[in-house]
Amino acid sequence: MSLLHVEDLRVHFHTRNGIVKAVDGVSFDLEKGKTLGIVGESGSGKSVTCYSLLGLLPTPPARIESGSALFDGVDLLKVPEATLRTYRGNRIAIIFQDPMTSLNPFMTIGAQLIEPLRIHMGMSRRAATDRAMAALREVGITEPQRRMCCYPHEFSGGMRQRVMIAMGLATEPDILIADEPTTALDVTIEAQILELIRKLQESHGIAMIYISHDLGIVAGIADHVLVMQNGVVVERGAKAEIFHRPQHPYTRKLIDSIPRSAKPAGSTLAETQGGSDFLRIEEVRISYPVASESLFDLHQREYTAVDGVSLQLAKGEILGLVGESGSGKSTLARAIVRLVDLKAGRIRMEEILLSELSGQQLNDTRPEFQMIFQDPYASLNPRMTVQDCLAEALERRGRKDRKELQAEILALLADVELLPEHLRKYPHEFSGGQRQRIAIARALALKPKLMVADEPVSALDVTVQAQILKLLLELNRKYRMSMIFISHDLGVIRYIADRTAVLYQGKLVECGPTERIFNHPEHPYTQKLLSAVRTSRLLEGAE
Amino acid sequence: MPAFILKRLLQALPVLLIVITASFFMVRLAPGDPFSQERALPVEVMKGLRTYYKLDQPLVTQYIEYLKNIAQGDFGPSFKYSGRTVTEIIGAGLPVTFELGAYALLIALLVGISSGVIASLRPNTWQDYVPMSLAMIGICLPSYVLGPLLVLIVGIWLEWLPVSGWGYIPGDKILPSVTMGFVYAAYISRLARGGMLEILSQDFIRTARAKGVSESMIVLRHALRGGMQPVISFMGPALAGLLGGSFVVETIFQIPGLGRYYVQAAFNRDYTLILGMTIFFAVLIVVFNLLADIVAAWMNPRLRSGKSAGG
């Protein structure tokens, strides 16, 4: 007898543009004490499936068309809202993806922790406080007494996720739903949180549904795995089975898209390994002023984001820049394209001293170095069509007649594998991957010698991610463009970079040929980073 | 926090100086002076008056003299109400205006917040459309239209309430308070709706729901504090407006408050009274905006600790 039995669940969204079948006939069983992993890309319906069990979907537009979800003899989909509420946060708890936004910023950690205990278990304030502090201790938060009075913004992302877990587990639920609980976290923190979840699940004997886009993580933590695509379960089975012997083509595609191997041999363009100086970054230091806390504090405090980093880049080379949040990798990228000023040091591209340029000179040189940003949803102007966007970039290199301009635009589109009919459309009409192609085309339009890509694929699904990485490699080869590629994802870096630089707290800890870094990391931090990835994911060859 | 308050007060000083300087010279640019009347006074009398009030001295000398006086808290005598100082006149009108403002504020907050919150809970239904349409009307309708309209309907046709005065007949305070408060209720209603909608769409509301918190507690405990931030930021300008913007309502309903003195002072070219009241209102605006910022900071733990979120 399974703990939760879901049968033929169908959830449709009734929007102005028609019906979206978000979940279309999903069935599964969850056994006591076991973990069910649900894998899928965005829009696959994996989160909607779980939210509908708890009545957390906005209705309208969502509507549960059919199905049943039997838990403890009760159909969760049919019971009235008031009854369902007694299950939520009590017998079925959920942890969400983004710990930065999932806690109420206006309430103390303590107030939020004792809330479910007071509601569901009728505890007195004092008893609930004691229980909450015990829960905090259990998730590894020290000094719980003091932390109870803190507000979420005083906690780091990893700490907040620990609080979310404590909140979920305090009521001793039967089922824990974890919706991408580590996606927003750094890899080393991710490894810790996964370990914590695994340990607590075991000691409490809780059944868990673990949702993720990352097949590696799911395969590492789950007993059974569902693979979802477009609202349908395309494959199900024991974890090792799915990972090593995938049956469905989509599952195979998902596995193949995980970037983990070195880039194809002979694809490297760098004329000289490491030594050449197309771009020289010398002893760069960047700091931000921090708000002083008192009026009489005359010393302007500073936060040093990048501290004495030196790097070289050869012509046509791809340099991977790895680091966790706060490592200064994005700040350095912004400084190279002169969006941020240096406090000390120099950046030289060929004969041009980039870090000293200003005014008109800087403006004239800008086409030489271009940037691709992380979020293709936010970095394109929503009121400009693709045509306008590309034409603006092209005309930056001098006015030209219509025909010539149009020909160049079409050539750019072909480069990034978009179609001519896309020209008249606006960014919102495209998917994330297509938007990133537009952003790449825009950067390419200026024929830059240097491309700085700041996490260009981290907002994309794995299959799309693989396409974009392939495209970037091809373009790098075609135009002999040097590239600085920033990512927190070690797999991505290994796939694309010729050389890799590892940043930690604003300092360069290690730099060398990518394969050397991955196979023989020298610095302890690099070793820690790599082992974190290995422990949290089931990778090929493991088990 | 004390450093923040001190900083803001210091910042206010140049603002006040600009207000004083601009209004001092602008008032003087207006044709005529406090003593010009339809039937001209004898030349010697005029001359005597001007000498007595030092109006015969160069403008810059007068300006410096005036600054010196207000630095000591002396706003000077009124030119028109002989024997009374500007401070006395402000002191006399202030309680009435404050009382009117307080009632209007109460109406604005009660009506505005409750209608805004209700609208935000059922967006795009009649519970949303009705209060929001009323709010739109409230924003568009100036008080010099709304006031007489209310007087006509409630006072004259229905004869339910008295139409003028302040504290003479029971119920005569209702119409002016409603007239004053309605516009602010309209603004607050829209701000409250917007703020609540914003907060209710946040992830942490979903978390609260997932914890099994009831809808009413979600609104009261989880959403209201964040949702009211825009309303609180608006309270500064609103309070200043309620206290300093009552000329029209006080004139329509014959209320002996600051606003009516202000209007009369302008007609009379009563230099010291105009300046004194302008400065007084400027100080009010600065102080209330500061108060609103302090309350907003206190309500928001992120701002309270004085730390900014690091990028």
Residue A541 CB burial class (10 angstroms; 0-12, 13-18, ≥19): exposed
For residue B145, the distance in angstroms to the closest alpha carbon of chain A comes to 40
The least confident of A108-112, A292-296, B79-83, B132-136 is A292-296
Q: Which residue of B has its CA nearest to A176?
A: B210
DSSP state of A88: B
Q: Which residue, among A91, A106, A151, would best test binding to B if mutated, counting the most B CBs under 10 Å from its CB?
A: A106
Three-state SS annotation for A149-218: CCCHHHCCHHHHHHHHHHHHHCCCCCEEEEECCCCCCCHHHHHHHHHHHHHHHHHHCCEEEEEECCHHHH
Residues of A in contact with B298 (CB under 8 A): none
Name, in order, each residue with C-beta under 8 angstroms of A309's C-beta and a sequence gap of 6 or more: A281, A283, A284, A285, A328, A332, A345, A503, A506, A507, A508
> Residue A136 in contact with residue A155, Cβ under 8 Å?
no
Pairing type for strands A302-313 and A369-372 reads unpaired
Whether the link from the prior residue into A61 is cis, omega within 30° of 0, is yes
* ipTM of the modeled complex: 0.75
Query: Beta A92-95 vs A74-75: how paired, if at all?
Result: unpaired
List of long-range contacts for A140-144, beta carbons under 8 Å, 24+ apart: A140/A196, A141/A166
From chain B, pick out residues whose CB is under 8 angstroms from the CB of A303: 310
Q: What amino acid is encoded at A324 in this protein?
A: E
Chain mean position to CA A310: 27
Q: What's CA A389's distance to the chain center, in Å?
A: 26
Interface of A with B in 46-85 (CB under 8 A): 54, 56, 85
With an 8 Å Cβ cutoff, are A104 and B204 in contact? Answer: yes
Could you tell me the two tokens for A204?
Answer: 């409490």
What is the Cα A137 distance to its own chain's centre?
28
Convert the pLDDT of each residue in A469-525 to its tens digit.
Answer: 888 898 888 888 899 999 888 888 988 999 999 999 889 999 999 889 888 999 999
The CATH class of A31-44+87-257 is alpha beta
Neighboring chain B residues of A167 at a CB cutoff of 8 Å: 211
pLDDT value, residue B308: 38
Count structural domains, chain B: 1
Decide: A503 and A509 in contact? Cβ < 8 Å.
Answer: yes
CB spacing of A106 vs B225 below 8 angstroms: yes
State residue B306's pLDDT score: 46
Domains in chain A: boundaries:
31-44+87-257, 279-289+298-535
Taking an 8 Å cut-off on Cβ atoms, the answer to whether A295 and B209 are in contact is no
The per-residue pLDDT for range B151-177, each reduced to its tens digit, is 999 888 988 888 888 888 888 889 999
- The H-or-E segment that residue A371 falls in is strand A369-372
Kindly list the residues from chain B whose CB atom is less than 8 angstroms away from the CB atom of residue A118. Answer: none
Instruction: Go through A270-281 and write b for each residue having 16 or more CB atoms within 10 A of its CB, e for each that does not.
Output: beeeeebebbbb
Residue B307 confidence (pLDDT): 42
pLDDT digits (tens, 9 = 90+) for A93-141: 999 988 888 999 989 999 999 999 999 988 899 999 999 999 998 888 8
Q: Which residue has the tokens 């039967």?
A: A174
Domain A31-44+87-257 and domain A279-289+298-535 have a common topology: yes
Query: Would you put residue A540 in left (φ > 0), alpha (ψ -120 to 50) or beta?
Result: beta
Percent of chain A with pLDDT over 70: 93
Contact B212 A98 (CB under 8 A): no
Contact B211 A167 (CB under 8 A): yes
Q: What are phi and psi of A263, to 5 degrees?
A: -70, 155
With a cut of 70, say whether residue A266 has pLDDT above it. no
How close does chain A come to B71, measured CA to CA in Å?
A: 25
Cα angle value B138/B143/B148 (rounded, 5°) = 110
The dihedrals phi and psi of A36, each to the nearest 5 degrees, come to -105, 125
* Sign of the dihedral defined by the CA atoms of residues A411, A416, A417, A421, in that order: negative
> Which regions of A31-121 does DSSP assign to beta strands (E)?
35-39, 62-71, 74-75, 92-95
Closest CA to A6 of A34, A30, A36: A30
Indicate if the alpha-carbon torsion angle B77, B79, B81, B83 is positive or negative: positive
Decide if A1 touches B, using CB distance below 8 A. Answer: no
Residue B224: closest C-alpha in chain A: A106
Is position B84 within any domain? no
Written as one letter, the residue type at A488 is: H
C-alpha pair distances (Å), B171 with each of B154, B175, B257:
12, 8, 18
Instruction: Supply the pLDDT for residue B310.
Output: 34
CA distance B16 to B60: 18
Q: Which residues of B touch A153 (CB under 8 A)?
A: 301-302, 305, 307, 309
Inspect the interface and report whether the beta carbons of A151 and B306 lie closer than 8 Å.
no
Closest in A96, A107, A293 to B203, CB measured? A96
Which among B213, B221, B302 has the least Cβ separation from residue A153?
A: B302
Region B136-162: mean pLDDT is 88
β-sheet bridge partners, residue A262: none
Instruction: Decide if B108 is inside a domain.
Output: yes
Residue A3 corresponds to which tokens in the numbers above?
Answer: 């703990």
Q: Which of A225-229, A298-302, A347-351 has the highest mean pLDDT?
A: A225-229
Check: CB of residue B270 under 8 Å from CB of residue B78.
yes
Looking at residue B104, its pLDDT comes to 93
Residue of A56, A105, A107 with shortest CB distance to B206: A56
Q: What is the CATH number of the domain that holds B222?
A: 1.10.3720.10
**B3 and A294 in contact by Cβ < 8 A?**
yes
Using CA atoms, how far apart are residues B58 and B44, in angstroms rounded to an integer? 20
| Partner residue facing B301 (CB), from A96, A151, A326 | A151
- E-strand ranges in A72-129 read 74-75, 92-95
Residue range(s) defining the domain that contains residue B119: 94-304
- Cα-to-chain-centroid distance, residue B175: 18
Q: How many residues in chain B?
A: 311
User: What does the pLDDT read at residue B1?
Assistant: 66
Q: Is the Cβ–Cβ distance between B296 and B303 less than 8 Å? A: yes
Q: What are phi and psi of A275, to 5 degrees?
A: -75, -35
Shortest Cα distance, chain A CAs vs residue B233, angstroms: 16
Mean pLDDT of chain B: 86
Q: Which of A88, A102, A151 sits opposite B203 (nearest CB)?
A: A102
Q: CA of B306: which chain A residue's CA is closest? A: A293
Options 3.40.50.720, 3.40.50.10790, 3.30.70.1350, 3.40.50.300; CATH for A279-289+298-535 is 3.40.50.300
Q: What residues contact B61, with CB distance under 8 A and at least 6 apart? A: none
- When mean pLDDT is compared across A269-273, A488-492, B42-46, B79-83, the lowest value belongs to A269-273
Q: Are residues A9 and A49 in contact, defined by beta-carbon separation less than 8 angstroms?
A: yes
Q: In angstroms, what separates the C-alpha of A490 from chain B's closest C-alpha?
A: 22
Q: Which of B11, B204, B216, B295 to mutate to test the interface with A (most CBs of A within 10 A)?
A: B204
Across the interface, of A54, A90, A153, the residue whose CB is closest to B301 is: A153
The torsion angle over the Cα atoms of residues A246, A265, A530 and A99, rounded to 10 degrees, is -60
Q: Measured between alpha carbons, how far is B148 from A389 in angstroms, rounded to an integer?
A: 55
Place of tokens 């609104």: B219
3-class secondary structure, A270 = coil
Determine the Cα–Cα distance for residues B284 and A370; give it in Å rounded to an integer.
Answer: 51
In whole angstroms, what is the distance from residue B224 CA to residue B216 CA? Answer: 11
User: pLDDT tens across A294-322, in order?
Assistant: 555 556 677 888 888 999 898 889 999 99
Residues from chain A contacting residue B211 (CB–CB below 8 Å): 88-89, 115-116, 119, 167
Residue B36 in domain? no
Nearest to A206 by CA among A236, A168, A242, A241: A168
pLDDT in tens, B297-309: 777 777 665 443 3
pLDDT at position A489: 84
Counted across chains A and B, CB pairs separated by less than 8 A come out at 89
Asked if residue B64 is part of any domain, the answer here is no
Q: Do B301 and A106 touch (CB under 8 A)?
A: yes
Least CA distance to B7: which residue of chain A? A295
B207: nearest Cα among A132, A66, A161, A441: A161
Round to whole Å and give the CA distance between A229 and B155.
Answer: 68
Rounded Cα–Cα distance for residues A153 and B309 (Å): 7
Confidence of residue A244 (pLDDT cuts 50, 70, 90): confident
Contact B300 A106 (CB under 8 A): yes
pLDDT interval class at B263 (50, 70, 90): confident
Q: What is the pLDDT of residue B286?
A: 85
The answer to whether residue B9 is domain-embedded is no
Q: What pLDDT sits at residue B311?
A: 30
What secondary structure does DSSP assign to A29-43, as a single string?
A: EE-TT-EEEEE--TT
Is A16 within 8 Å of chain B by CB? no
HSE-CB for A512 with a 13 A CA cutoff: 12
pLDDT digits (tens, 9 = 90+) for A367-426: 888 999 888 778 888 888 989 888 888 888 777 788 888 888 888 888 888 888 888 888
- Look at A295 and B6 and tell me if their CB atoms are within 8 Å: yes
The answer to whether the Cβ–Cβ distance between A107 and B226 falls below 8 Å is no
| Residue A271 in this model has a pLDDT that exceeds 70 | no
- C-alpha span between A498 and A318 (Å, rounded): 5
- Rg of chain A's alpha carbons, rounded to an integer? 25
Phi and psi (nearest 5°) for A238?
A: -65, 155
